[in-house]
Structure 1
Amino acid sequence: MEKEGRSKVWDYYTKDPSGDVVCSICSSSVGQGSEKSKSKNTTNLWHHLKKKHKDDYEVAQSQGKKGTGTQMTLPQVVEQTAKWGPNDQKVRELDKLIMEMIATDILPYAVVEGVGFKRLVAKLEQRYSLKNEKYFCTKLMEETYQKVVNKVKQLLHTDNSGLLAFTTDCWSGAGEALMSLTAHFIDKNWQRIQLVLNVKTMFGSHTGEYISETFLNLLKEWDIDHERVHLVLRDNGANMVKGMRLAEMPGLSCTAHTLQLVINDGLSAQRAVGDMLAKFKRIATHFNHSTVAQQRLTSIQKEMGVPVHSIIQSVPTRWNSVLHMIERMIEQKRAITAYSSDHGHFLCPTPNEWDLAGKLVETLKPLEEVTLELSKAESSASCILPSIGVLKSVLQAEGPHTAGIQTARKAMIQSLEDRFINLNQTKEVVLACLLDPRYKHRPLDQETLSQAKSWLQEEMQSQTSEETKLATITEEEKDPKIRRVGTESIVDCLFENMLAASTSEEEQPDDVLEELERYMREAVIDRKKSCPLEWWRNNSSRFKRLAKFAQK
């Protein structure tokens, strides 16, 4: 217990047996002024701390200002040091925050058993007793999970009762296979919402029938009706395609995955390209499987002034890794050639192959740019048609950079046309493009635009019919004819019914086309700087009918 008025500076000093004052930080002896006991003060102690240990000086000053300078009572000491009970409000708050940290940062439960984490918690709040791993992964996780489930259900059913889009994927790893399901929609504030609903373990053979059954069960778990499924984005695997067909779900292939197949078609179509890539892959394998080879290459790189970079190995499932491998090979051309001359182990590419590699980079670079744009988190189906159109233009262009590589480019063009043959007949893709203010009708040919207008009319008519049906049901439930009493006659009732009907007829399917014409006459917004959802949030009142479809 401290003496009354004891200075905070003494937290940084001790007295040795001889009575000298010693700094606890640097072990220096510091005088206290006069040797007479009554004349001693802490001025020199503060001065030493300020001059030699500025950070500690500032801490001591701030603590000194906060202190009351009065002696603590025994109850106060007990209150500041006694452990909180397990049901204390502050304990529950800290437990919840630690659980949220584990969940949001995707940490293992074992983090609470770590020595470092325990030290941190003890230092921050000595009255809090940290729970063990079992407590967090059983009791608290179950409570947290149920709260999240309730919130997700609220988002799916209360805050949004409209259509939902889904992405689903299957993959294997670490001895097990998994299937994921993510829901996507745009809320009333034009914010994009993405909810990962489930990641389910799959057993047995992943047939189309099994995938269909699993997918439908996942929807059932979240009380999502079949009618609310607007679109399901999936990969091109035959089992996934069949699974969505059996489930009677409107499916769409992943564009990035399809582009992977298009580029593979092009790379395998020209023998010279295939031979060159095979040689590059052997070189990359040599350096990636031998530390001695890598060390020798590093030595050559430093000697020749070439960037000290590792050789990139291509990955079959990521086509742009082929592009990155070629780019790195070209960057390291001098070092690789020197290594081959000194140590052998592989055939160095010929001058023609180096030239071919450079032209292939010029072909693949724009394709990567489009692929990356389509793979962004904020990308949507509206980007597909414009992106495919740009890719065709890039591949159809001719010039010095295309000489010697035309076979591969033509194969890619043909593959694009074959694999995206029905894109202009896919209603969801066409309407998404048309209702994106960055693109509008610009990427659509006249026939596709005409079809899009017909789809909008059909959608409008269907929506109007549904709204009329709901209005009729509501009116019948109210039963105004029975409720009317007093001065209102049956004639008045009939007039009101007639006028109400004419009001509902004010919105005709043709009105949406008039609105569309006004929308298309306006300039498109900047593709990179502007957000289409923000545009709709600001303009939905001007295009009320179109906004309903854009929100899908």
Structure 2
Amino acid sequence: MKCNKMTMISNSDGATGEDFRILFKMDISMTYPNSVTIEEDSDTGSSSDSIKETGHTNQESQCPDTSAIGKKKLPPKATIGVPGKKRRLTSEVWDYFNIIPKKDPNEELKCQCKKCGNEYSAESKSGTGNLHRHIKKCVKMTTKDIGQYLITSDKGALGTRNAQFSQDKFRELLVHAIVRHELPFSFVEYEGIKNVLTYLEPQIKHITRNTAKSDIKKLHAREINRLGSELRGCPSRICLTSDAWTSIVTDGYLSLTAHYIDSNWLLQKKILNFSYMPPPHNGVALAEKIYSLASSWGIEKKLFSITLDNASANDSCVAILKNQLKLKNSLVCDGVLFHVRCCAHILNLIVQDGLKEIDKSVELIRECVKYVKGSQTRKLRFTECVTQTSLDSKKALVQDVPTRWNSTYRMLSSALYYRLAFCHLQLSDSNFRCCPSLEEWGRVEKICSFLQVFYEATNAFSGSKYPTSNLYFPQVFKIQLKLSEECKSSDDFMKRIGSQMFVKFNKYWSEFNLLLAIAVVFDPRYKFQFIEFSYNKLYGPGSNELVKIRNALFDVYNEYVRTFNISGASSSCSRGSNEVYSHGAKDQEDNQSFDVLEDL
């Protein structure tokens, strides 16, 4: 009967779809009380064609269509919780927005973007067009997964940032790479490089070699201004190192390097200039060039010392520089400590003199190494000899460069290690005829042990990431002590070598810069007791050399007292008051706490 009523209403000409929906809902509720719930579509507002069972009844449906609808079930959907009304959210925009629960029933229903957090109206009357538009323009919606982010690390913490390309940053990094890796300006025009960069960033604008050159000049100007400000504001004095160099096309160049302690007490090494040096390369021209370069940086009044090699032109260069700086009253102790000779260069001259005595033995070792390295067959044969003598084949067999004595020492050291292998190779290979005799091997062994002291000193002096002035005196003391012992040796061969090297040693180090001895006093491992111990060992107690160093130490102290006007400091520290440092010198002679004395 009710089905007939529904049929009559649906077929009436004056009834609308909305009237049908209301009457149908009322009719079903009267027939099946508390048995069904009608769900409405969230977007269209029309009733859903699903009726969900919420209870049971003993009455059978008189309308087949209604019972069929009551048995139909849909999967759960997201809904908006409006009292007395449930709407399913079927639009795809709700995958990107969250509904904000209402605190007041009268306030407007809103939703929030899951990515950026922006809020928009979620009322059905507002529709979803504004939500669709936000999804298209939302910045954080453009990256779908974390794999498209660039991961950056800052002190161990990971962060994320969007991959936004900057043309200015690209050009800055490109010129830094050219400078750091010494690349040609044409590097930016290589087709292969341009293809790689275009693949990584399609929006990139390639630059030419002239643009790269211009950018590097701008970078150079910025760095000069920054370094100049740092040098002029440096609280300490600055030590210079200079050397001349001639290119393969005979063009002369001069380098100038600054060493100083910055405001953070860190050792800094900066190459100030590498400039063209026109002829002549005499003392006057070198002095004018160095002084002009120092003046261009504004540090001519902050110089402490300059280190040069032992070329004769450098002696006259230093004399002229000292006169120029004295006019401005900018030297410590009136320039007595200004000139420092290159220690590594002096060592090279001394050792080269000693190597002349064993030219024959060294030449035989050099020929042995050349023979082994002459072909792959000889290398394999020598490796077999090394295996048969139970030696380690991983140790390299070094071939020297005759102009560098430290490479000669390494060659002799490696040849001595493979001594048995060379002897075995002589027996198995009839073409190998340059193997040294037993007497020559003995000479090589002695000279190698003797040169080890010089090799260790050269390595210590050649460091660039740590101070070396405090290492000078201990290393030179070991060398001088070794030469003195060899001059008194009973072996005529070693005595001849030691005597010849000692003459060269006295030529350069009899009047060495006292500043290098003062640096040892400030080293807590040595202090003044080590100076006393060394000179007592070499010259006996109360030597004039020890007195000179003590006087120079107090002269430097008084100089700094006058410069900085230290209040309360005893600027009248007399040289006679330094006897406090002389006590206990004899007790220090047997002290084994000094690293330099471990091998003596």
Relative to the length of structure 2, the TM-score reads 0.59
Among 358, 371, 388, the alignment partner of 2:445 is 358
- How far 1:465 moved relative to its partner? 4.2
State the match for 1:104 in structure 2.
180
Contact 2:240–2:303 (CA under 8 A) maintained in structure 1 = yes
2:384: which partner in 1? 302
* Residue 204 (1) aligns with residue 279 (2): yes
Query: Is the Cα–Cα contact under 8 Å of residues 385 and 425 in structure 2 kept in the other structure?
Result: no
1:257: Cα distance to partner? 1.0
Contact preservation (8 Å) 1:164, 1:183:
yes
Alpha-carbon distance change, 118 to 211 in structure 1, aligned in 2, over 3 angstroms: same
Q: What's the offset of the Cα at 1:404?
A: 4.7
Deviation at 1:212, TM superposition (A): 2.2
**Superposed displacement of residue 145, structure 1:** 0.6
Letter of the structure 2 residue corresponding to residue 430 of structure 1: A
Q: CA deviation at 1:283?
A: 3.6
Looking at structure 1, the residues matched to 299 and 201 of structure 2 have their Cα atoms a distance apart, in angstroms, of 45
Correspondence for 1:177: 252
Alpha-carbon contact 1:302-1:308 (below 8 Å) kept: no
1:279-294 equivalences under 5 Å are: 279-286=364-371, 290=374, 292=375
Which amino acid is the alignment partner of residue 384 of structure 1?
Y
Kept in 2, the 8 Å contact 1:389–1:443? The answer is: no
1:466 deviation in Å?
4.5
Count of residues in correspondence between the two structures: 413
Q: CA deviation at 1:231?
A: 1.0
1:315 pairs with 2:315:
no
| Aligned counterpart for 1:451 among listed residues 529, 532, 548 | 548
Q: Which residue is 1:421 aligned to?
A: 510
Give the Cα separation in 2 of the matches to 1:451 and 1:216.
Answer: 30
1:180-219 deviations in Å (ceiling 9; x for gaps) = 1001111233211211001112333422233223222222
Deviations 1:314-367 (A, max 9, x none): 223321111111123223434544555635375321111012111222111222
Q: 1: CA distance between counterparts of 2:355 and 2:287?
A: 34
C-alpha distance in 2 between matches for 1:153 and 1:527: 40
Shift of residue 149, structure 1, vs aligned partner: 0.2
Larger deviation: 118-127 or 325-334? Answer: 118-127
Mapped partners of 2:197, 2:490: distance in 1: 62
Cα deviation for residue 112 of structure 1 reads 2.9
Which among 331, 335, 360 is matched to residue 275 of structure 1?
A: 360
1:92 to 152, 168, 178: 168
> Residues 174 and 346 from structure 1, CA distance in 2 versus in 1: closer, same or farther, beyond 3 angstroms?
farther
What is the match of residue 571 of structure 2? Answer: 508
Using a 3 Å threshold, how does the CA distance of structure 1 residues 383 and 283 change in structure 2: closer, same or farther? same
Q: State the distance in 1 between where 2:575 and 2:169 align.
A: 53
CA distance in 2 between counterparts of 1:265 and 1:324 reads 18
CA distance in 1, matches of 2:298, 2:275: 17
Partner of 1:432 in structure 2? 519
The DSSP-based 3-state class of the residue aligned with 2:322 is coil
Q: Which amino acid aligns with 2:260?
A: F
Q: Deviations over 1:9-32 (max 9, x none)?
A: xxxxxxxxxxxxxxxxxxxxxxxx
Given that 1:385 and 1:429 are in contact with CA atoms closer than 8 Å, whether structure 2 keeps it comes out as yes
Q: Hey, what's the Cα distance between the residues in 1 that align with 2:378 and 2:318?
A: 53
Shift of 1:287: 5.3
- The separation in 1 between residues aligned to 2:433 and 2:485, in whole angstroms, is 35
- Which blocks of at least 5 consecutive residues in structure 2 are unaligned? 1-113, 118-131, 144-163, 324-337, 536-541, 596-600
User: In 2, distance between residues paired with 1:525 and 1:91?
Assistant: 63
- Which of 259, 265, 273 is 2:353 aligned to? 265
- Select which of 216, 219, 236 maps to 1:141: 216
* Structure 2 letter corresponding to 1:302: E
Counterpart of 1:319, as a letter, is W
Checking the alignment, whether the CA contact within 8 Å between 2:385 and 2:421 is kept in structure 1 is: no
How big is the shift at 1:371? 1.4
Partner SS state of residue 443, structure 1 = helix
Deviation at 1:374, TM superposition (A): 1.5
Query: Are the aligned partners of 1:91 and 1:128 in contact in 2 as well (CA < 8 Å)?
Result: yes
Following superposition, which runs of at least 4 residues in structure 1 exceed 6 angstroms of deviation?
Answer: 65-68, 74-77, 398-403, 511-516, 518-521, 523-528
How many angstroms apart in 1 are the aligned matches of 2:526 and 2:592?
Answer: 8
The alpha-carbon deviation at position 109 of structure 1 amounts to 3.2
SS of the equivalent of 1:296 reads helix
Q: Post-superposition shift, 1:172?
A: 2.7
Aligned to 1:131: 207
Any residues of structure 2 matched to 1:368-447 within 5 Å, and which? 368-377=455-464, 378-397=466-485, 404-423=493-512, 426-441=513-528, 442-444=530-532, 445=535, 446=542, 447=544
Task: Say whether the 8 Å CA contact 2:426–2:435 is kept in structure 1.
Answer: yes
Candidates 218, 234, 237, aligned match of 2:293: 218
| Cα separation, 2, equivalents of 1:98 and 1:238 | 44
Query: If each structure's helix is expressed as a fraction of its own residues, which one has the higher value?
Result: 1
**Whole-angstrom CA distance in 1 between matches of 2:517 and 2:592:** 18
State how 1:326-337 maps to structure 2 within 5 Å.
326-337=412-423
| Bigger Rg over Cα | 2
1:230 aligns with 2:304: yes
SS at match of 1:509: coil
Question: C-alpha distance in 2, partners of 1:461/1:198?
Answer: 34
**Identity, % of aligned pairs?**
20
Distance 1:295 1:309, change over 3 A: farther
Change (3 A) 1:527 1:219: farther
Match for residue 498 of structure 1?
none
Deviation at 1:165, TM superposition (A): 0.8
Runs (5+) with no aligned partner, structure 1? 1-64, 81-87, 469-502, 529-552
Instruction: Tell me the secondary structure at the aligned position of residue 510 of structure 1.
Output: coil
Q: CA deviation at 1:437?
A: 2.2
Q: Which moved more, 1:396-405 or 1:362-371?
A: 396-405
Write the distance in 2 (CA, Å) between the matches of 1:420 and 1:301.
45
Match of 1:324 among 410, 413, 423: 410
Partners of 2:242 and 2:257 within 8 A in 1: yes
Q: Which aligned pairs between 1:64-79 and structure 2 lie closer than 5 A?
A: 73=136
382-391 or 100-109, larger mean C-alpha shift: 100-109
SS in 2 for 1:247: helix
